[in-house]
Amino acid sequence: MKPKERVLRALEYKETDIIPYYGLFSSMEAIMCFLGTRFLEANDLEKTIFLARFLNSDIANIPVAGFPGGPGIFEEILYEGKEHLIAKTPFGGLLYWRKKPYFALPLSCPIRYEEDLNKIEKFDIEKFKPKAKILAEKVQKLHELGYFVTIEIKGPMESPWMYLRGGYNNFLIDIKKSPVFASRLIELAFKPMLELVDLIIDEAHIDAVWMTDDLGDNRGPFISVENYRTLIKPWHEEITKRVHKKDVKLCLHSHGNIMLLLKDMVETNPDSIDPLDPADGMNIDEIKEKYYGKICFMGAITKNIGLMSKNDIEGYFLNVSHYIEPTGFILMPAGGIPPEMSLENFNYYNYILDKTRRKYEKR
C-alpha cells in the first residue's frame, strides 16, 4: 500500500496494511545533528524527500507558515547563516531562529497597542501566487513518489502571538483583559491563513492541511473552555468546512493537556487530532473510550522518547501497542526526534516502531 493510500484510509477509519506513521525531527538542530551539512546544501524538494525516506514517514509536510520550526512561504527570509536565520512576516514583524542550540522567537512585535491594528497593511494574496505555483510542482513530485502531502499553517490561537504580539504571554493577557482586542487580533492574523489555504489547495491539490495550534502545556489549557468556544472554536469550524468542501483533510495539532477542550475540538470536525502525548497528561484510554470512531488519533509517541534508554523505548512501545487499533490511528512522535537522541537509540526506536506498526499486518 502506498503511503498516501495508507494515511487516507486511516483518516477515514478503513483498515490499512500497517499503521501509518508521520516522522519528523524536533528542530533544525536535530536535522543538522543527524544529517549534516550535505543535507542543508540541497534544494527544498530533495530535503523533503530525503527526510520522508530517512524517517520512513508516510506523510511529507511542506511548511507554508512554518514558525517556529522553520520558515515557509509566509515568511520572507532576510538572512540565513550557519547559526542563525531571520525572516520577515507580511505584517512587518521579524522572526529569529538560532539553529544550534535551537531556539526561535519573534524579534519584533508589529502590534503593541490596539490602535496599531489599523496600521497593518492589507494582506495581499497576489504576492503568494508565484510561490504557490512552485509549491504545486513540489507537491506533484511528492505525489508521484506516493506520499500523503500536507501543508503546515498556524491556527487562530498560534498565529496572533507568533506574528502580531511577540509571544504567547502577551496574547494570553489580551484574552484575559480585552477579549474584543484578542478577537480582532485573531481575525487579522488568521484570515491570511485561510486565503493561503484556498490558494494552495486550488493550485497544488494537497491531501491535507496540518494546522498547528498549541492550546496548552502539561498543566492544562492556556485558555478556559468558554474562551475556546467564543474565540477559537468558530475559526476551527470555519477552516474545517473550507477544506472539506475542496475534498481536503484537516489535521489539528495541539500540544498540552487539552482534555478539557477535547470535546469541543472534536465537534469542529477535524479529520485527526495530534499529538496526544501521555507526558502532557493526555489519557489515551479515556480519549479512545469517548472519541474512537469519531476522529483519527495521530501521535501517542511521547515527546520524551528521544531521552529514553533502549529498555525504556521498548517498554513504552508495549503501551503504545495497547492503544492502537487497525483503523483510525497514525503514529507520530509528539516532539519529533530530538538532537539528544543517540544514533544507536534512534536505530532501536525505528526497529521497535516497525514492529509496532505491523501489529495488524496480514501475512
- Enter the C-alpha cell of residue 359: 501489529
DSSP 271: S
Query: CB within 8 A of 44, min separation 6: which ones?
Result: 138
Cα separation values, 292 from 121, 166, 204, Å: 44, 37, 31
pTM above 0.85, yes or no: yes
Number of other residues whose CB lies within 10 A of the CB of residue 32: 18
User: How many domains is the chain built from?
Assistant: 1
The helix or strand, by DSSP H or E, that contains position 332, with its residue range, turns out to be: strand 329-333
Can you tell me the distance from the alpha carbon of 50 to that of 353, in angstroms, rounded to the nearest whole number? 19
| Phi (first) and psi of residue 210, to 5 degrees | -100, 105
The CATH number assigned to the domain holding 141 equals 3.20.20.210
Query: CB within 8 A of 277, min separation 6: which ones?
Result: 255, 299, 300, 302, 303, 334, 335
Can you tell me the distance from the alpha carbon of 11 to that of 60, in angstroms, rounded to the nearest whole number? 16
- Enter the C-alpha cell of residue 72: 515557509
Can you tell me the distance from the alpha carbon of 92 to that of 256, in angstroms, rounded to the nearest whole number? 30
> For position 224, what pLDDT does the model report?
97
Axis crossing angle, helix 168-177 with helix 179-204, rounded to the nearest 10: 130
Contact 150, 59 (CB under 8 A): yes
Give just the sign of the alpha carbon dihedral 29, 73, 207, 195: positive
Contact 251, 271 (CB under 8 A): yes
- For residue 192, is it within any domain? yes
- For residue 60, is it within any domain? yes
Residue in the structure block whose three cell numbers are 506498526 = 357
Using alpha carbons, select from 168, 140, 163 the residue that is nearest to residue 153. 163
The domain of 155 spans 3-75+116-357
- For residue 291, is it within any domain? yes
- For residue 83, is it within any domain? no
Contact 153, 240 (CB under 8 A): no
- For residue 54, is it within any domain? yes
Q: What is the pLDDT along the chain (363 residues), one digit of tens a residue?
A: 999 999 999 999 999 999 999 999 999 999 999 998 889 889 999 999 999 999 999 999 999 999 999 999 999 999 999 899 999 999 999 999 999 999 999 999 999 999 999 999 999 999 999 999 999 999 999 999 999 999 999 999 999 999 999 999 999 999 999 999 999 999 999 999 999 999 999 999 999 999 999 999 999 999 999 999 999 999 999 999 999 999 999 999 999 999 999 999 999 999 999 999 999 999 999 999 999 999 999 999 999 999 999 999 999 999 999 989 999 999 999 999 999 999 999 999 999 999 999 998 875
End-to-end Cα separation, the chain, in angstroms: 14
- For residue 91, is it within any domain? no
The helix or strand, by DSSP H or E, that contains position 159, with its residue range, turns out to be: helix 158-163
- For residue 92, is it within any domain? no
- For residue 143, is it within any domain? yes
